[in-house]
Copies of this chain bind each other. A is one copy, B any other.
Amino acid sequence: MTAEKTSLTSSPISDQLEELHRTFSSIGEGAVATYIPELAKANPNWFGICIVTTNGGIYEAGDSRQEFTIQSISKPFVYGLALEDHGRSEVLKKVGVEPTGDAFNSISLDPVTGTPRNPMINAGAIASTGLIEGRTPQVRINRILEMFGRYVGRDLKVDAGVYASESATGHRNRAIGFMLRNFNVLEQDPMPIVETYFQQCSILGHCRDLATMAATLANRGVNPLTGVQAIRGEYVESVLGVMGTCGMYDYAGEWLYDVGMPAKSGVAGGVIAVLPGQLGIGVFSPPLDAKGNSVRGVRVCSALSRRWDLHLFNRPGIGKSVVRLRLNAAEFNSSRVRSLPENEILREHGRRIQVFQLQGNLVFATAEYVVRELTECTGLECLILDFRYVVSINESAAHLFHDILCNLHAAGCVVLFTGLGNNSPLRRLIRTRLGDRSEDLFRTFEDLDGALQWCEDRLLARVMPSIPDTSIAVTRYELLNGLSREEMAIVQKFFERRNFAVGEVIIQAGEPAHELFLLTRGVVSVFLPLDDGRRKRLATFSPGMAFGEMAMIDHAPRSATIIADTDVSCDLLTIGKLTALGAVHPKIKIHILENLSLDLCRKLRKANREIAQLV
């Protein structure tokens, strides 16, 4: 694999591939195809291997950039294009999907309907080529070349010499073309269609192209190296379906048993194999066995399958790791700073608010686990589903979530989403099904913290009386807790009252910190400015609380911006005034510092408990 930085070590995967290449280089069996003179020119020693993963890993060994003609490997891809052009049911009327157990060049038409048994034999492949849309043969081969360009991420072209050679000798395929015309499987002149078929077989590619094509099929049609959609995801299973049962000619059963991956070979010596969701393999080595498959190609795929446990049917259970974190508001809270009584209420009733942070791919089986956990939740009032770490949601998972969420909503549970992209299948489904109501039913928050705060506020509002929008008395400042009436009166003289209008900046990030603020009236929020110009809410304070005290203590510049959420009144205590207070009334300052330490101490304990839950 190409390392761009200086690495500490080489990859064991590259090492293993090199070793495999060395081992299988010595195989002398098989013979280069000679049915056309151009193919007979191939060097029997050419030997390349390439692996491309759906995560974008690339591993190459040997002659992985030696070009050759893809031949029959074109068949499943052109079949895929035919599916895109006409849909599955129309295509199935023209070409079947049953393995024949016959050799690659057998005609194998259904005795009754005349349709080819499957698209991997020549008859079925020619029928597929006949389904490619385009006014002229040139338009059709161009569409085929553009398709392969999407699969491999570079422009491919037809080898003129091989094409001329194929065309000069391809009488059997012309016979097949006319048989297909006879049964009306082809509805136009078969001659130009057969020519296009010769051209698609003569497209030049190398091993890395093969592996990228295979990896694109493994990645639901998206080229993992370029991000380009080469074929609509819904047709990938059909392309792999015919490769799975018919891709290796009459060797299909043993192949699926032994190697366990859908595959396709070509007479020039190419082989591709696909492990859905995971990776694609491309091998090139011209000598063929009696069944027309590359000898080293078959051996390499078999060895890789065994060594790397790639067999499609050998899968570990999906487990429960679709739930990355499961939290509740009794144990984990938003960054909104709460008063002591508020924190107590959250500790007591917070289990009614549950957070499921999901991750990875949501398909039926992973969604099933989440849905089951949700149906088994007791005493649930607010549910937050956090999709921040979700890679994909397929349609069936989206439906399950839609259904369970509607059920929960109907049962009185409030459902919130975070980290769910606007274009996720779930969001689209909900909009389609529920229309304008959708945003009311399922609130969406940018981040988990905001959603959690909303749920906590809701819970607290139901349990506690709301704070009136009037100034609170100095006696209710948490920082002055425990001082006598006389002491409070003294402290008050050191305060400076300030008012801020809604939206006004109270503290600007980056400025030096000279004071702490005691909130008398209104609500303020702490924001972190983000690189993209937006800002992230970090905390919210309500009357009675102090803010800005940490920067004052550690003399750091203000780390965040604080803005008035409502009209706000504060009492300011500057460093100078606090020092003056200490000089005249040391006992009062000691008391304030003890309260401050107590507050910090509680917050630190809570933060440590939360960290323990997260790692």
Contacts and interface: CB of A to CB of B under 8 A. Distances in A.
Given A55-B368, A597-B593, A313 B12 contact: no
A314 to B, nearest CB: 4
B317 A55 contact: yes
A487 interface: no
Contacts of A320: 55, 391
Contact of A360 (B312, B321, B403, B590): B321
A260 B237 contact: yes
- Looking at A258, A368, A413, the one whose CB has the most chain B CB atoms below 10 A away is A368
Interface in A225-284: 233, 236-238, 240-242, 244-246, 250, 252-254, 256-258, 260, 262, 275-279
B375 A8 contact: yes
A311 interface: yes
A9 B415 CA distance: 14
Contacts of A461: none
Contact of A13 (B220, B308, B371, B554): B371
Interface stretch (A30-38, A93-101, A497-505): A93-101
A118 to B, nearest CB: 7
B317 A224 contact: yes
Nearest to A4: B376
Q: What is the total number of copies of this protein in its complex?
A: 2
B318 A278 contact: yes
A240 B603 CA distance: 55
A550 B325 CA distance: 29
A363 interface: yes
A5 to B, nearest CB: 5
Contact of A319 (B236, B361, B411): B361
B276 A376 contact: no
A8 to B, nearest CB: 4
A49 B551 CA distance: 64
Given A244-B256, A404-B11, A55 B319 contact: yes
A314 B601 contact: no
A485 interface: no
Nearest to A233: B314
A407 interface: yes
A76 to B, nearest CB: 12
A605 B240 CA distance: 53
Contacts of A589: 586, 590
Contact of A614 (B16, B220, B559, B614): B614
A314 B361 CA distance: 12
A13 B400 contact: yes
A179 interface: no
A5 B376 contact: yes
Given A53-B365, A220-B314, A408 B8 contact: yes
Nearest to A99: B253
* A275, A318, A603 interface centre (most CB from chain B within 10 Å): A318
A587 interface: yes
Nearest to A606: B607
B10 A407 contact: yes
Contact of A245 (B10, B252, B363, B587): B252
Given A12-B403, A315-B276, A317-B218, A378 B593 contact: no
Nearest to A582: B590
A394 interface: yes
Interface in A572-615: 582, 586-587, 589-590, 593-594, 596-598, 600-605, 607-608, 610-611, 614-615
Nearest 3 A/B pairs, CB to CB: A586-B586, A12-B403, A277-B315
Given A586-B587, A593-B597, 4 more contacts: A12-B407, A55-B372, A335-B608, A597-B597
26 contacts: A9-B375, A12-B371, A12-B403, A54-B317, A54-B318, A55-B372, A118-B253, A220-B314, A220-B316, A236-B313, A238-B257, A241-B257, A244-B256, A277-B365, A279-B368, A309-B363, A309-B394, A309-B395, A312-B312, A316-B361, A316-B392, A317-B392, A319-B391, A319-B392, A449-B615, A596-B597
